[in-house]
């Protein structure tokens, strides 16, 4: 939808927030506070807050405890100073051809203040009607209430069979790939967190997912790794989960010892953090007894992480996969042997998957 000008201010108004419409601007400026922006924002947006978190809290307190007039006067002073700083820093290099889209929480005073000044500078400025909430409605309509128009193919297989690496190789080969673990910053298992990468909020996870899907061609297949309904603490949205549940699958297979070696490589960061490893082992869905925990601790002390991985696979991962496979209703397109799970084996597995899909 093309933006329409507001005759009173010269600011144009955009009424929709789909990714195609958002792509038509030089910059998407989110003027909300940094904490609001960190929770979620429109794809590609930059944060130029007109009120910091502290200033927003200050104005809100004055509004409630003293007077609306005083809160607005102090707030206006903060807003003016912050917009001036953005003009002198982040926006200093923009030419007259700059065409920004501005939004705040729901298209109110914060975004209107920024849009008014940018428009007066001479830039063709557009305001997103309804602000961030318009974008959020787009996300929920598509990922909760709608159906995805894609032909999904699920990569399945035991833990440690290299599914994620094969998925990424498919992406390198130009295939359409949804890397849920990458989007959720979690490897989707008991030991799956990243020490230096906290998970995004649920809203941010969904925004990243929708932006990715909107770049796909519905006429081509989309590959996704088999996951539970949650990746760490992030829930797979219903539209994608339902599509995954109905999609055909390709199983990636490898022997136990090869998978154990692969897990040691893939989880090197957890192995290097003994406290995190011990805590993860204590949280297993099948609670280990004290003797078993002690035995696992001895393996870790000895640096025998392959044996520890084999033990975890035998106790938890492989039985869980066998149980889920007994309930499986999705069609199987084939089983691909990933050999020793070395780089060449994973390359060959990706090529074989493409051959199976093409047949």
Say whether 242 is catalytic. Answer: no
Residues β-bridged to residue 27: 100
Distance CA 54, CA 40 (A): 19
Residue of 104, 212, 226, 308 marked active site: 104
Tell me, what's the pLDDT at 190? Answer: 67
pLDDT at 44: 95
Report residue 189 as tokens. 């298992």
Q: What is the mean pLDDT of each run of 10 residues along the chain (359 residues)?
A: 56 93 96 98 97 96 94 96 98 97 95 96 96 97 95 95 96 97 86 78 98 96 94 95 96 96 87 80 77 88 91 86 84 95 97 92
Residue where the block lists tokens 């995954």 = 244
Pinpoint the alpha helices (H) of the chain: 19-22, 34-39, 53-65, 68-88, 109-121, 132-143, 163-172, 180-184, 202-213, 238-246, 256-266, 268-271, 274-282, 290-301, 305-312, 318-326, 343-358
Distance CA 142, CA 138 (A): 6
Residues 6+ apart with CB under 8 A from 36: 30, 105, 132
Domains of the chain: 4-140 (3.40.250.10), 148-358 (3.40.50)
Per-position DSSP letters for 34-74, written without gaps between them: HHHHHH---TT-EE--SS-HHHHHHHHHHHHHT-HHHHHHH
């Amino acid at each position: 939808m093309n933006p329409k000008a507001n005759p009173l201010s010269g600011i144009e108004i955009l009424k929709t927030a789909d990714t195609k419409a958002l792509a038509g601007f030089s910059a998407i400026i989110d003027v909300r506070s940094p904490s609001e922006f960190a929770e979620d924002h429109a794809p590609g947006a930059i944060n130029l807050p007109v009120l910091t978190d502290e200033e927003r809290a200050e104005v809100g307190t004055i509004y409630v405890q003293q007077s609306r007039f005083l809160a607005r006067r102090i707030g206006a002073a903060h807003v003016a100073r912050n917009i001036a700083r953005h003009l002198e820093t982040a926006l200093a290099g923009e030419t007259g051809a700059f065409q920004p889209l501005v939004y705040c929480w729901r298209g109110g005073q914060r975004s209107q203040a920024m849009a008014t000044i940018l428009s007066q500078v001479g830039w063709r400025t557009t305001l997103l009607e309804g602000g961030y909430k318009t974008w959020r409605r787009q996300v929920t309509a598509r990922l909760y209430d709608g159906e995805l128009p894609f032909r999904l193919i699920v990569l399945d297989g035991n833990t440690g069979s290299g599914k994620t690496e094969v998925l990424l190789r498919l992406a390198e080969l130009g295939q359409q790939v949804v890397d849920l673990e990458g989007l959720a910053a979690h490897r989707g298992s008991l030991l799956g967190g990243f020490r230096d990468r906290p998970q995004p909020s649920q809203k941010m996870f969904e925004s990243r997912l929708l932006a990715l899907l909107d770049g796909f061609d519905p006429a081509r297949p989309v590959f996704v790794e088999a996951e539970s309904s949650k990746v760490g603490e992030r829930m797979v949205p219903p539209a994608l989960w339902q599509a995954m549940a109905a999609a055909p699958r390709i199983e990636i297979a490898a022997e136990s010892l090869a998978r154990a070696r692969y897990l040691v490589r893939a989880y090197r960061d957890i192995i290097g953090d003994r406290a995190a490893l011990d805590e993860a082992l204590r949280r297993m869905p099948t609670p280990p007894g004290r003797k078993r925990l002690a035995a696992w601790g001895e393996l870790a002390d000895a640096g025998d992480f392959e044996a520890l991985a084999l033990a975890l696979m035998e106790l938890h991962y492989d039985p869980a996969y066998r149980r889920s496979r007994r309930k499986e209703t999705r069609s199987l397109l084939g089983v691909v042997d990933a050999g020793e799970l070395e780089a060449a084996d994973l390359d060959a597995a990706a090529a074989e998957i493409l051959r199976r899909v093409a047949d």
